[in-house]
Amino acid sequence: MSADFMNASAKTSVIIKRVLAYVFLIILIFICLFPFYILMINSTRSHPDIQKGFSFLPGRSLIFNIRNLMSNDQLPVVRGILNSLFISSCVAVLSTYFSGMTAFGIHAYRFRLRKAAYLFILLIMMVPTQVSALGFIRLMSDFKLMDTFIPLIIPSIAAPIVVFFMKQYMESSLPVEIVEASRIDGANEFYTFNRIVIPILKPAIAVQAIFSFVSSWNNYFLPALIIESPRRKTLPILIAQLRSADFLKFDLGQVYMLIAISIFPVMIVYFFLSKFIVRGVALGSVKG
């Protein structure tokens, strides 16, 4: 009788813990998604309606807001989307490939300053972008690269955080014996990296490509310092430009609509590639 009671008590305890976990997760999901719901609702409402307060129901100004946004001569929205897509895609490709190559060199080669080089990369990872912004702007000005996409794309080759993640992933998923076997078979280093290492790194590459894309897509600081021409502006710059409009031209409906347009591609990327994020982070975590 006592054993049955203990089993029933244990089952009840498990059920209670599971219910509490589900309740906590539901609350957490609501906290995370509620701002996006507000954004989507307000993007369908007009400026006077938004000023009246929050509404749980969508408005009737969706087409009106889109039409006003697209007809604004001061905001080349389509051009801004294309610019952001081009810059973010290039950053994602370059940062993952060359950072993976750097991590492969540190992981597969045994040279004297190997640990010092890796430590230097980790130290660079701790330096904020704002610290080196002034020197970077002066350097780009001397190279006459201001108001171009090059300063926003090429420096992404040196991505310390991506190198760190790739290095940790290789330690758990890439045995050095595979590289040595490839060398014995006569393959050069570039062939080994492109044909053997990259297929093994696909989950890590997918994760870091997503993170690099999103980070570049949301980047406002450097593009605002580099870009001057309206036809080269990215979406974050256009959003800031729309928000800083004078009182007579300020339209909250257009602001919310442009923000919704800017986060929509990111939501699509996360929706279709979320499985790579979970799997890549799990496989690339540091072993205890």
Q: What is the pLDDT of residues 250-279, one digit of tens each?
A: 788 888 899 888 888 787 777 776 776 666
Task: Kindly list the structural domains of the chain, giving each domain's residue range(s) and its CATH number in brackets, ordered by start.
Answer: 2-65 (no CATH), 71-283 (1.10.3720.10)
> In this predicted structure, what is the pLDDT of residue 88?
93
User: Considering the chain, what is the average pLDDT of its residues?
Assistant: 85
Q: What is the pLDDT of residues 229-257, one digit of tens each?
A: 988 999 999 988 887 766 556 788 888 89
When pLDDT is averaged across residues 31-47 and rounded to a whole number, the result is 89
> In this predicted structure, what is the pLDDT of residue 176?
86
Q: What is the pLDDT of residues 91-146, one digit of tens each?
A: 999 999 999 999 999 988 888 888 898 999 888 888 888 888 888 999 999 999 99
- Those residues with Cβ within 8 angstroms of residue 257's Cβ, 6 or more apart along the chain or in another chain: 43, 65, 66, 69
* 3-class SS letters over the chain: CHHHHHHHHHHHHHHHHHHHHHHHHHHHHHHHHHHHHHHHHHCCCCHHHHHHCCCCCCCCCHHHHHHHHHCCCCCCHHHHHHHHHHHHHHHHHHHHHHHHHHHHHHHHCCCCCHHHHHHHHHHHHCCCHHHHHHHHHHHHHHCCCCCCCHHHHHHHHCCHHHHHHHHHHHHHHCCHHHHHHHHHCCCCHHHHHHHHHHHHCHHHHHHHHHHHHHHHHCCCHHHHHHCCCHHHCCHHHHHHHHHCCCCCCCCHHHHHHHHHHHHHHHHHHHHHHHHHHHHHHHHCCCCC
Are 96 and 280 in contact by the 8 Å Cβ rule? The answer is no
